[in-house]
Amino acid sequence: MAYYDTPLFANLSLERLFGAIAHATVAYDDFGEPEPEDMADRDPRWDTFPPFHNFLRETYPLVHKHAKLQVVGGYSLLFTLEGTSDAKPLMLAAHLDVVAASTALDRWKYPPFEGHYDGEWIWGRGSSDCKSNLLGQLSALEHLLEGGFKPRRTLLLAYGQDEEARGKYGYADVAIRVESFGGHSSVPGPHTSIGYLARFISALEDADIYSPALTKTNPYYGYLHCLDLYGSRNVPRWLHSALEKDVVDDIAAQVADLGVRSRFILQTSKAATVVHGGVKNNALPEEAGVVFNSRIETTMSVRDHTDRVAETLIPVARRYDLSMNSFGDELCNGTQGTVYLELLGNTEPSPITPWHTPQFQLYASAVKSAFGDNTIVAPSLSVANTDTKHYWNVSTNIIRWTPARLGTRLGAHTVNERIKLTSHIETVKFFHELIIQFEAAA
């Protein structure tokens, strides 16, 4: 571990991260299939991935020498380092792709795909999400192999190509599409399709249709207990008495009132994210639409969510004399147009990972080794997208966690994405320790 604290490794880490950031492996929501039946239909935006594969091959020669590499589904990578025992494998996951950085370029302090180090922060798209994790895993294994590492437990490294586009769990994208009469803008009706759409957007945004939910099997309940026992003086005093009374609904409501970050760990969200309508300044738009993205809390289903959306919007359709087609069902008839509710994509909330297990204890030991013995390891929930849905049938012990201190990774999915160099090095240390801890238990 001492090697990771040397200037030599710091410089090597900078070089590796700069190289990774320079590969703009952007995932797009409308990506075509990477391996279509007719390669003439192949989406050329996948072309950024093979050069990134080559970069990883050149940067981590020992990993590529000793581990079997399979390319899956076009551009995803699966490394397998065979062990000598029959212990169940350890799999480390990350993703190769990043979100786009094509808008608000004037707000970036440094170009998003060049990589810049200011003496503290490494700037660039993917520096935080999630090429630090990707390189952290590969760097840890490369260093172990340099020392002659030969595992008893098989080690898998799984790197997806489209996490940012398709790797979601506990989510739903609902489209609201309004069709109404077109014509010349000099003779408009009371409302255009855009005007009707505005009413639907406002109604859904303003509707109070979700409440925070907490159960004793929710990992966040365990987190609150750890916070009560080991938290700083800033922990609200009401938490201890609330946990003693054990009224989870009251706890959920009070946690939600702390702010939006706390609220949407326990409550389904809804946000209008994409809108379209109109093609010409002097033409009445015949169609307008919006997409609402929602993250579904653990006690709800996607059907629960879509039912509540429909119930909220039916009165609006009736008020404006519009027909309504809700996810294929005709709910009301009108004469001024039609509103369609469509489910573009969805995944049910992910299964909850148990935390009173030997596997979680090994993970906790690695956290303490990398971040200090005074670190308290507690279960919690992630509201961000991941591609772990592909592994639900492989293991119940899926831990979704990025090894970083608060405030050391900033700007994911927005401008000025960056990570502290010290944070990236701690990431490498953590994955080194995780491999060692599971190896010792093999």
**Which residue segments constitute the domains of the chain, with CATH numbers given?**
2-166+352-440 (3.40.630.10), 171-210+268-347 (3.30.70.360)
Q: What is the pLDDT of residue 156?
A: 99
* C-alpha distances in Å from residue 135, one per residue of 17, 58, 285, 414, 431: 7, 13, 49, 21, 10
φ, ψ (nearest 5 deg) of residue 346: -165, 155
Nearest to 326 by CA among 315, 344, 343, 341: 341
Residue numbers of the chain with a pLDDT score lower than 70:
166-169, 384-385
Nearest to 29 by CA among 306, 350, 293, 326: 293
Q: What is the pLDDT of residue 387?
A: 84
Q: What is the pLDDT of residue 385?
A: 60
DSSP H helices, 180-218, are 193-206
Q: What is the pLDDT of residue 246?
A: 86
CA distance 383 to 339: 30
Is the separation of the CB atoms in 128 and 419 below 8 Å? Answer: yes
Q: What is the pLDDT of residue 167?
A: 62
CA distance 200 to 277: 14
Return the ∠ at Cα 279 (arms to 273 and 280), rounded to 5°. 135
Q: What is the pLDDT of residue 44?
A: 94
Q: What is the pLDDT of residue 169?
A: 60
Q: What is the pLDDT of residue 141?
A: 99
